[in-house]
Structure 1
Amino acid sequence: MSEAREYDVVVVGSGGGAMTGAFLAQKAGLSTAVVEKTSLLGGTSAYSGGACWLPGSAVQQRAGIADSTESAREYLRAILVEPDETRIEAFLAHAPELVAELEADPALDFEWLPFPEYYDAPGRVSFGRSIQPTNVKRGDLPPEVGGLVRPPVERDRLGEGGRNTLSGGQALIARLLDGFLREGGTVLTELPVTGFVLDGDRVGGVAAMTPEGPVEVRARRGVLLAAGGFEGNAALREQHGVPGDVAWTMAPAGTNTGEPIEAAAAIGAATDYRGVGWFCPGLEQPDGGGSFTLGFRSGLMVDQRGQRYANECLPYDRFGREMAAAPDRIPSWFVFDSREGGRLPAIAMPEGDPAAHLEAGTWVRADSLAELAGLIGVPPEVLSSTVERFNGFCASGVDEDFGRGADEYDTFFAGGEGPNKALTPCDQAPFYAARFVLSDLGTKGGLVTDEHGRVVRPDGTPIAGLYAAGNSAASVFGAVYPGPGAPLGSAMVFASLAVHDLRA
């Protein structure tokens, strides 16, 4: 690609927000190119469960749940801190419109996903209001679509291909890509963006790098930057105070290193890094990586002193922030017993092989709690006392320290047989401890945008031709994670709003 290419719209990135914007732009008659750094499309979105927090749509109405734009507004008002009301209202107003527009196309189909929201607050919908794309068979897709979608994380990390049934995030990316290519869209892979092409004070395209040298991909209407955050860049993480580590992030290896955000800042874009990130407890892998973990069914998490410090069944972002609150919590140790045959009593993506964990020391096993304490370096009497107190809560059904089991989220994944199904005693030898680190689903600080998805300067004026969505932009939710699918839902909405502005 030695010559410059020109399109109406250039979309940088290929996650849920990027592909929503690309699909809608191409379908509206704007020639659109997706510029992706790697050889596969989907980024962290392809690893996700595909949940989309898009309140008030016909999908929730078909499911008969008590969702509405009004209740979502009430919920956000209760949980957000100093929100940008204009952007919140734009999100709430456009979410159902976006779903209707997507579902009007034969490539897109959604269903309600039971999954509790993350805060007990006014406006919360029991079992959640998130929706997800329906599964799609690889054989029902054009071969070029299936070949471009990034596999699920547990296969991608091993260099394996995707499954025959694409679900969750793979289904979302595949369906959007199917529609995009059908409408004549262009995909340019293995093309890392290094900066922007300027026509005066207007963004007129992107500069990128190929093995043969630099190239330009020009945009007559504008550039939509939806290339993820900077979780893969250790220096930027440190600069902006993001806890955790590059090795522990859930982003695909080599991605989301923040160059497009830095390039936008260099041409005058305002930035806001206060939201920090979307966090989760990460099961440390033998290779030093982290695995997104949720849904603890039994067991208890202890710090480096051998003490509990939070409700283990908290929503993952909230637990991750508890981990980050004190230096002796990273790493933590998750202590569990043998009631599930030595498997981790939680959902970890990927979990890994228990034997490999034990060999690497990321898990340890012992016949007694005192021996286990020695293996993880905590005082035996403290760990024994902590487990004894926890087991007492299991017998009474009340976690007097952290309230585990009091919220519907706590019990959603649990199946205990005691008075509180989120509290199962840790009393069946041998005992295990798994090392946990602070993982993330991405950073959430970045470019400041307005209600149209336009990137703005510090004085609030838009940079002509430049838009941003997803983790490339500062989150509309600030430091709060409202519920399952909030990252994808907000990315999709603001990408769509950007396209609406581009079409005007």
Structure 2
Amino acid sequence: MSTTTADVIVVGSGAAGATAALRARADGNDVIVLEAGPQVGGTTRRSSGGFWAPNNSLMRARGIEDPRDYALKYMARLSYPELYDPEHPTLGVPQADYDMLAVTYDRTTEAVDFLKDNGHIAIIEMQGFTGEAGDFPPYYEQPDLDKAPYGRHLGAAYDEAGVAAAAGEALRGQGAQPTVGNQGDGRELSRQFEASMAREGIDVRVNHRVDGILKDDGEVTGVTATTPGGQETFNARKGVIFASGGFSMSEALSDDLLMGPIYGTGAAPECRGDFIQLTKDFDVELAHTEHAWWCEVPLELGLESRIQDWLVFIPWGDSMITVNREGHRVVNEKALYNDRGPAHFIGGKEEGYPNRILMMVFDEGVLQNPLDWVTRWPIPMPDGSSPSVSIPGVKETDLVISGDTLEEFAANVEARLATLADKTDGFDLAPGFVEGLKAEIERFNGFAASGVDEDFQRGSVRIQTEMYGPPRPGNDKNPTMFPFRDSGPYHCILLGAGTLETKGGPRIDPHARVVRKDGTPIPRLYGAGNCIANPTAGAYWSGGATLGTAMATGFIAGEQASAQEPVA
């Protein structure tokens, strides 16, 4: 077994790991990055590439103020709604969790400026769905607290090398064609991170899966890894930083820890919960492991492969509703993906997760709408082709179940479910499905005619209307709703819950040190990104909160590890 020594060892090369490595390297440290996968980027590479940064320098340059006290209240109320108390010193949130909210506000902009000012990432304001930079709408409109709804959303701009690298790649994010200065997706962000690490002399090793943490007298001294050349030891003079991703790809951990069953994930294949497994004997405190960055996936694709290359961010269509096995709506169909995923868990394990599969039901008007919009997938285009933003090789028409009448439609859905029964624990439609669906469509049509969804407030905020796209001609009420046609055909796509990635794991403190159950830090062990207890808890503060918190915790981890006195 060969042995290599460096000042800092970083496990993982996504946004958290790359930021940590670059920050540690900035102080002159020797840094080795160990990436379990075959290329740099991890789940970041598979993302839309945006990151959320409160009070960042770009927004301040535009004269947008983002007061700390209001921002912390905004984050606390979303992350801990049952505990939130605006009059409490920690806003009603436990001290450890409040400290992580505070450090997110205080340090994210520092991380972003470090990456921007040192030429690591070409940072721009995120483009909204209108195509205008800096116009990306907030996920949650809270006028009493959100004093800076615009400006917190950032991304990486394509340069010429990025445009060349993106040639021929499938579109992601908002479907923007790669052009110099335009916002890139996670592949472009990862490419810029990889180029910066190479330029800075950071030793990045792919296909190196860390399988052990070394300790000496209570201090972490390095790791062991399985590599293409066999087992290797990597000693760290100053510290080890884990940024190895969550556990979405571990069925065992997902079934044991998450609040409900998932059928797919946008996470990298290597996200198997390694950090949780490797710290079992460290007396760490696990937190937020029931939570994830939630989404929905087409059920049948998820049953074929847990790894999903694209997700159902917002079900597309106006004459469309999502119903359960009884034919009833259970959620605002245009709610953010993080809010819709948990709708599949209503009823809980005690009732067998009766909503674990939902039906996205739509009429011919939706199917024949020619709009090729970023959130259209997985609904095919009218001619049966794939929309621009889609998964190469997937035939969307195979996912669509149709019937000329609601009775025929229900029979065909039941027949499709029967073919999947051995993979879905026998999930089927309830006896009263057709009657329930008829009543639900009639009620929805009334809401669509008035423009007001009295049950779930669909289309009541800007993010919902803009992610859906322009209204169809003749709809001057609510662009997200339109009455179903009086006759068929009717269609549906089966949906299940999924994750972008999980967000629970060992707790860290504001210095990114992994802590034990008694709150004391484990010397020279740091964590960042999705492998630790994410500061957001169950919330998704806004677009890019995933990568924003990853960059912040990674930056702190790199800074703190770098500051340690080296051991021999």
Q: Fold match, TM over 0.5? A: yes
Find the aligned partners of 2:66 and 2:515 in 1 and give their Cα distance: 33
Find the aligned partners of 1:458 and 1:153 in 2 and give their Cα distance: 44
Equivalent in 96, 104, 129 of residue 91 of structure 1: 104
After TM superposition, give the deviation of residue 429 of structure 1 in Å. Answer: 4.2
Find the aligned partners of 1:199 and 1:232 in 2 and give their Cα distance: 31
The code of the aligned residue for 1:79 comes to: L
Equivalent in 222, 233, 239 of residue 250 of structure 2: 233
Equivalent in 125, 130, 141 of residue 153 of structure 2: 130
* 1:418 and 2:418 correspond: no
Q: Which residue of 2 aligns with 1:159?
A: none
Q: Which residue of 1 aligns with 2:555?
A: 496
Give % identity.
Answer: 28
Instruction: Assess, with a 3 A threshold, how the Cα gap between structure 1 residues 273 and 297 changes in structure 2: closer, same or farther.
Output: same
After TM superposition, give the deviation of residue 348 of structure 1 in Å. Answer: 4.0
Instruction: Assess, with a 3 A threshold, how the Cα gap between structure 1 residues 274 and 39 changes in structure 2: closer, same or farther.
Output: closer
**Corresponding residue SS for 2:109:** helix
Instruction: Assess, with a 3 A threshold, how the Cα gap between structure 1 residues 276 and 306 changes in structure 2: closer, same or farther.
Output: same
Instruction: Assess, with a 3 A threshold, how the Cα gap between structure 1 residues 333 and 120 changes in structure 2: closer, same or farther.
Output: same
* 1:330 and 2:356 correspond: yes
* 1:372 and 2:409 correspond: yes
Q: Which residue of 1 aligns with 2:491?
A: 432
Q: Which residue of 2 aligns with 1:116?
A: 137
Q: Which residue of 1 aligns with 2:7?
A: 8
After TM superposition, give the deviation of residue 424 of structure 1 in Å. Answer: 2.2
TM-score (norm 1): 0.89
Q: Which residue of 1 aligns with 2:526?
A: 467
Whether the 8 Å CA contact 1:370–1:380 is kept in 2: the answer is: yes
Out of 315-324 and 432-441, give the one that drifted further.
Answer: 315-324
Find the aligned partners of 2:122 and 2:193 in 1 and give their Cα distance: 10
After TM superposition, give the deviation of residue 380 of structure 1 in Å. Answer: 2.2
Whether the 8 Å CA contact 2:208–2:228 is kept in 1: the answer is: no
* 1:408 and 2:407 correspond: no
Out of 171-180 and 106-115, give the one that drifted further.
Answer: 106-115
The code of the aligned residue for 1:123 comes to: L
Whether the 8 Å CA contact 1:9–1:222 is kept in 2: the answer is: yes
Q: Which residue of 1 aligns with 2:273?
A: 258
* 1:267 and 2:282 correspond: yes
Q: Which residue of 2 aligns with 1:448?
A: 507
**Corresponding residue SS for 2:25:** helix
**Corresponding residue SS for 1:292:** coil
The code of the aligned residue for 1:450 comes to: D
Question: What are the superposed Cα offsets for residues 101-132 of structure 1, whole Å, 9 maximum, x if unpaired?
Answer: 11112232222223333333333244562111
The code of the aligned residue for 1:366 comes to: G
The code of the aligned residue for 2:324 comes to: D
The code of the aligned residue for 1:252 comes to: A
Q: Counterparts in 2 of 1:202-221, with a 5 A limit? A: 202-221=219-238
Whether the 8 Å CA contact 2:288–2:538 is kept in 1: the answer is: no
Q: Which residue of 2 aligns with 1:158?
A: none
After TM superposition, give the deviation of residue 169 of structure 1 in Å. Answer: 1.3
Gaps of 5+ in 1: 155-161
Equivalent in 317, 338, 342 of residue 317 of structure 1: 338
Find the aligned partners of 2:266 and 2:141 in 1 and give their Cα distance: 27
The code of the aligned residue for 2:543 comes to: P
After TM superposition, give the deviation of residue 64 of structure 1 in Å. Answer: 5.1
Question: What are the superposed Cα offsets for residues 337-387 of structure 1, whole Å, 9 maximum, x if unpaired?
Answer: 23354589834487458983444xx32122233322222234323222212
Whether the 8 Å CA contact 1:297–1:413 is kept in 2: the answer is: no
After TM superposition, give the deviation of residue 28 of structure 1 in Å. Answer: 2.3
What RMSD over aligned residues (CA atoms) do the two structures have, in Å? 2.8
TM-score (norm 2): 0.79
Instruction: Assess, with a 3 A threshold, how the Cα gap between structure 1 residues 169 and 396 changes in structure 2: closer, same or farther.
Output: same
Instruction: Assess, with a 3 A threshold, how the Cα gap between structure 1 residues 152 and 209 changes in structure 2: closer, same or farther.
Output: farther
The code of the aligned residue for 1:306 comes to: G
Out of 190-199 and 263-272, give the one that drifted further.
Answer: 263-272
Gaps of 5+ in 2: 81-92, 127-134, 348-352, 379-388, 415-428, 564-568
**Count of aligned pairs:** 486
Q: Which residue of 1 aligns with 2:311?
A: 292
Instruction: Assess, with a 3 A threshold, how the Cα gap between structure 1 residues 36 and 342 changes in structure 2: closer, same or farther.
Output: farther
Q: Which residue of 2 aligns with 1:244?
A: 261
Q: Counterparts in 2 of 1:375-390, with a 5 A limit? A: 375-377=412-414, 378=429, 379-390=433-444
Q: Which residue of 2 aligns with 1:157?
A: none
Find the aligned partners of 1:60 and 1:420 in 2 and give their Cα distance: 31
